[in-house]
Amino acid sequence: MAERILDVKGLTKRFGGFVALNAIDLYLEEGERLGLIGPNGSGKTTSINCISGSLFGDEGSVVFRGSDITRLAAHQRTHRGIVRSFQIPRPFRSMTILQNLLIPMEYTAPHRGGGGDREVEAREILDLVGFAGRANDNSGRLTQVDMRKLELARALAAKPQLLISDEAMAGLSTSEVDEILGLLFKLNERGVAVIMIEHIMRAVLRFSQRVIVLDAGAKIFEGTPDQVVKDPLVEKAYLGE
């Protein structure tokens, strides 16, 4: 039985009178690929916001590698190895692609056992995502798929142990989806556990070892991709793609 690196128990989040998350339990094993799906407004983004630290839950706990991180600031969680990408990419627009990578390299990698030549590591990451030779391109004018790749490249530069990919493939063409999916597989091969939030069903089902389905702030199903497509509750909750 692989070790659990993430253990979320009883996570509840309210916005005024609206209950976005209702006592969610969630765990992730080392190196695991977890898919998180559900209709719009089901609480997917809220839950990962609580895991990554952009939001604090009202109740419940988030434990990462044995430590309670429920009240830690986002940047501290990043230092411990939880990295997230954003649904709508958020590049540092005044900087080049390389400079974008430098930020997590300078601020997070040292906490993650970083050492070694930054230039070399940066080129490596750029090669991996297919940005070879584009290190000095301005990051403010990239295509959609390039911005998604930059998000992932930046996340990689932070040496994650857990990567949360928030709809990294939304709006992309079929071949572009495959490109990003390939990247995520490569990342996982290096030992990075991944939580994937996606609406593109074929990507989620291909990628995930286990799938959790949320609806209206509650977990309505948890199982393998094969099981998920057959479950009547899931079908009822949301007619996915």
Partner 1 sequence: MKGWGFWIFVALALAAGFVFTRVSNNEYYFFASYIVLQSLIMATAWNILGGFTGYVNFGSAGFFAVGAYTTIALQKYLRSLGFDAPLPVFIVAAAAIGGLIGLGAGYLTLRLRGVYFAIATLALAIVAQTFISNWDYVGAAKGAYILTPDPPPLFSSYVKYLFMTMLVLGLLALAISRYITQSKFGRGLAAVRDDEVAAECMGVPTLRLKLISATVMGALMGVAGAPYPFFVTFVDPLSAFQLNIAVNSIAMPMIGGTAFWYGPLVGALLLGTAQEVISVTISSEINVLLVGVVLVSFVILAPKGLVGLFSDLWRRGKRDG
Q: Which residues bind partner 1 (CB under 8 A)?
A: 52-54, 73-76, 78-79, 83-84, 86, 90-95, 99, 102-104, 106-108, 111, 154, 158
Cβ 38 to partner 1, closest distance in Å?
A: 22
* DSSP state for residue 97 in the 8-state scheme: H
Closest to partner 1 by CB, 76 vs 173, is 76
Q: With contact defined as beta carbons under 8 Å apart, do 199 and 24 qualify?
A: no
End-to-end Cα, the chain, rounded Å: 33
For partner 1, the closer CB: 25 or 119:
119
Nearer to partner 1, 76 or 143 (CB): 76
How far, in Å, CA of 165 to CA of 167, rounded?
A: 6
Neighbour order of strands in the sheet with 162-166 = 82-84, 162-166, 193-197, 33-37, 210-215, 218-223
CB of 59 to partner 1, least distance (A): 23
> Smallest gap, in angstroms, from Cβ of residue 115 to partner 1?
16
Q: CB nearer to partner 1: give 149 or 154.
A: 154
Minimal distance, residue 4 CB to partner 1, in Å:
23
- CA dist 100 and 197 (Å) reads 23
**163 neighbors 194 (Cβ within 8 angstroms):** yes
* Rounded (10°) CA dihedral 204, 205, 210, 211: 60
Q: CB of residue 103 vs partner 1: minimum separation in angstroms?
A: 5
- SS3 assignment, position 74: helix
Of the two residues 26 and 102, which places its CB atom closer to partner 1 in the complex?
A: 102
> Phi and psi at residue 206, in whole multiples of 5°?
-70, -40
What is the closest distance, in whole angstroms, from the C-beta atom of residue 74 to partner 1 in the complex? 5
Nearer residue to partner 1 within complex by CB, 84 or 148: 84
